[in-house]
Each structure stands twice: as structure tokens, then as C-alpha cells.
């Protein structure tokens, strides 16, 4: 392992102390060809060794070498020598900081919302629209570096099954989604315990709008110059925060534009047969099966199913006829793995394969 890591790409992780940052460090600590080289957070954390700056919240132990790294302020000059910058920055500061890294020539893989809908920046869920990464050539020409964003965590759990349905049955006319989202999705310290224990909060600021707009861009196309929204794809979203640690569950109903409606068996087969580009490219973090269809009548469940394929797959269950739409089902995504840090890492693996790093 140490020999492989000798030639590894050197990674900087911005927002290293947060929920997404902690997941980055865990996933990167066991990555064969990416190595954590520099870490950054706010001035509150800068100058301290990571183990002192961070309140570690994951059940997996922090890598001993990473725990000794000293946290820097998020300035490009502190990250010289990095081949890749991963960002788990709070959106209040991500806009300015990520753009300064792009202007300094870095390849930035971001989880923040700031550039997701920017017409020059790809919004990439790697198991859905990996081809949009090709657009970074335009940013490189303009800025020297580039930003690749990944989606809002609940959007990721929605677009993966939708893409499998689109590929198999054409335009999706209408989509209804009701989410039940874990508290780690709100970062740390996040939702106060008095608000969430023994409770459900039927509001997550800005989340419904993000799902409705991001879905169209992700399922759309890149024509070499611009991103074109997917036709149809009218999404209605209700978002709820529930007392679960990790894993966003979504109850999804879909109508197809086609008059010849697929059967439930055909729909389940379309989920199972779906093979995205990173799997074909044999990227290190790509799951062997990107959508797992579960048979149990009461699955997926966050506690039981969020680590399917090490957290890199979406699990789907309860695929059945809908009385108003054509089909309904339940989908689950691990919000800080495939829904955040894991997707950024997969995006970087794709960029590396495409010679863009």
C-alpha cells in the first residue's frame, strides 16, 4: 500500500472538520491512489493538529497519520503541491474560497451549493452524468483551474433511479418525491436535539427547490458548450428531517410520457441492469451494482441498508403500481458517502481517467 501511495495524487481537503470533511478523510485514508496531503478549515481550527481541531463523529477510527496533520486556513498558497482539492466547505464561504482555488489553477471537487447551477460548472452525480465532466475544458481555458460540483445529498438518491428509468423508458413526465432526511445532512452541530428527538421537522431550508432544479440539470445533456435541461422532469418535492443519523430515504412516484407503460417487472429489471460510466471505467470507488433492488416488503431502511456497496449504491424497494402516477418506490442513499464525499472522490477518479487532472 505504501508503495502505491508513493505515486498517489496529493489531495487537499477544505472543510476537513465538518461532517463531509470527516467522511472525505476516512474514504481517502484507504484510497489506493489518492493521498491526503493538506487539510483546511476556518481560522478557528487553523494552526491546530487535526485531532485537536475536530470533534470526530464517525464510528470508524481516524487515521493516525491524518490526525497529526496541522489544519491550514483555506488559501491557495497553503495548498501548493496538491493535485486535487476536495471541498466540504460551508456554503457561506465556499463561493469565494473555491473560486480562489480555481483561479490558482486547482481542480476543485465541491459539495457546496454555490456553483451547482452556474452555467459554466458541471453538476455531476458520477453514477448518472459522468460525461458532463468533459465541460471542465471550458473552465480551464478561462480560469486556469476548474470546479466540479456534486449534487445535494437527497437529489443524488433521486436522480440515480430516475436515470435508469429514463434510459429504459424515455422522458419522465412528472415526479413526486417525499424525503425523510438524516440529521448528519445538516452538518455539525446541525439540528438542535430538542428539535429532532421524538420528532419530525417538515421543513429543510432551500432543499425542495434544490431537488427540483438540480434534477433537470443532472438528467440533461452537455452539448459541448452549454448544459441543456432534461425535457419533462417536472419534480414536486416535500422534504422532512427525521431522527436518523445517516441515510436519506425518499418515497418517489413517477409518470412516463410514453403511452406504452412498462410493467413493474420491467421497471425493477431496468434498475438492476443499469450500469453507469464509472462502473464501465472500473473506477476504484465505483460499486459493483449501482442500484440494488431489495425484495423485503419493508426495505430499504437506513440502519440496515445505508452501507450497501460501502455506501456507494442507492438501494430501492417497494416497487409497485401507483394509483395516480405510473409507478412508486422507495430509495435510500448514504448522504455523506454517495450523497457527498464519495461522489466527489468518484468524480475525481473519472477526471483522472479522462486525463483532466
Ligand X SMILES: NC(=O)c1ccc[n+]([C@@H]2O[C@H](COP(=O)([O-])OP(=O)(O)OC[C@H]3O[C@@H](n4cnc5c(N)ncnc54)[C@H](OP(=O)(O)O)[C@@H]3O)[C@@H](O)[C@H]2O)c1
- List residues near ligand X by CB under 6 A: 15-21, 41-42, 44-45, 74, 88-91, 93-94, 111-113, 153, 184-185, 187-188, 335-336, 339-340
What is Dmax (Cα atoms) for the chain? 62
Q: Which residue is catalytic, options 31, 132, 248, 334?
A: 248
Nearest to 155 by CA among 217, 86, 78: 217
How many of the other CB atoms lie within 10 Å of CB of 192?
A: 8
End-to-end CA distance of the chain: 22
- Read off φ and ψ for residue 160, nearest 5 degrees: -65, -55
Smallest separation, CB 301 to ligand X (Å) = 18
Q: Which is nearer to ligand X, 98 or 349 (CB)?
A: 98
Q: Dump the DSSP string for 18-42.
A: SHHHHHHHHHHHT-SSEEEEEEEE-
Residue 192: left (phi > 0), alpha (psi -120 to 50), or beta?
Answer: beta
Q: Which is nearer to ligand X, 247 or 262 (CB)?
A: 247
Nearest residue to ligand X, by Cβ distance, number only: 18
Q: Which residue is catalytic, options 153, 239, 283, 334?
A: 153
Are 11 and 83 within 8 A, CB to CB? yes
Q: Cα 316 from chain centroid?
A: 17
Q: Note if 248 is an active site residue.
A: yes
Smallest separation, CB 15 to ligand X (Å) = 4
Catalytic residues: 153, 248
Amino acid at each position: 500500500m505504501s508503495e502505491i501511495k508513493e505515486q498517489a495524487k496529493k489531495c487537499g481537503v477544505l472543510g476537513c472538520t465538518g461532517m463531509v470533511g470527516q467522511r472525505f478523510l476516512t474514504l481517502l485514508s484507504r484510497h489506493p491512489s489518492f493521498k491526503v496531503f493538506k487539510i483546511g478549515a476556518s481560522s478557528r481550527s487553523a494552526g491546530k493538529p487535526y485531532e485537536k481541531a475536530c470533534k470526530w463523529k464517525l464510528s470508524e477510527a481516524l487515521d493516525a497519520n491524518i490526525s497529526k496533520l496541522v489544519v491550514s486556513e483555506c488559501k491557495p498558497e497553503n495548498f501548493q503541491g496538491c493535485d486535487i482539492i476536495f471541498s466540504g466547505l460551508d456554503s457561506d464561504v465556499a463561493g469565494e474560497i473555491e473560486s480562489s482555488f480555481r483561479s490558482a489553477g486547482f481542480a476543485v471537487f465541491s459539495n457546496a451549493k454555490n456553483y451547482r447551477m452556474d452555467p459554466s460548472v458541471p453538476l455531476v452525480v458520477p453514477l448518472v452524468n459522468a460525461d458532463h465532466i468533459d465541460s471542465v475544458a471550458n473552465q480551464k481555458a478561462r480560469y486556469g483551474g476548474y470546479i466540479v460540483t456534486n449534487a445535494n445529498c437527497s437529489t443524488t438518491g433521486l436522480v440515480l433511479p430516475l436515470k435508469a428509468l429514463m434510459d429504459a423508458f424515455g422522458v419522465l413526465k412528472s415526479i413526486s418525491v417525499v424525503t425523510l432526511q438524516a440529521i448528519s445532512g445538516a452538518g455539525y452541530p446541525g439540528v438542535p436535539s430538542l428539535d429532532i428527538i421524538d420528532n419530525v421537522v417538515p421543513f429543510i431550508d432551500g432543499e425542495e427547490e434544490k431537488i427540483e432544479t438540480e434534477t433537470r440539470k443532472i438528467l440533461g445533456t452537455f452539448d459541448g458548450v452549454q448544459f441543456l435541461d432534461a425535457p419533462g422532469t417536472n419534480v414536486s418535492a416535500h422534504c422532512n428531517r427525521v431522527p436518523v443519523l445517516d441515510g436519506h430515504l425518499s418515497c418517489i412516484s413517477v409518470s412516463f410520457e410514453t403511452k406504452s407503460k412498462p410493467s413493474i417487472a420491467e421497471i425493477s429489471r431496468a434498475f438492476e441492469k443499469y450500469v453507469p460510466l464509472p462502473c464501465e471505467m472500473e473506477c476504484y470507488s465505483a460499486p459493483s451494482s449501482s442500484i440494488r433492488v431489495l425484495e423485503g416488503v419493508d426495505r430499504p431502511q437506513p440502519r440496515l441498508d445505508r452501507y450497501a456497496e460501502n455506501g456507494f449504491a442507492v438501494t430501492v424497494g417497494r416497487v409497485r403500481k401507483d394509483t395516480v402516477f405510473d409507478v412508486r418506490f422507495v430509495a435510500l442513499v448514504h448522504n455523506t458517502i454517495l450523497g457527498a464525499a464519495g461522489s466527489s472522490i468518484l468524480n475525481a477518479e473519472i477526471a483522472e481517467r479522462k486525463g483532466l487532472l
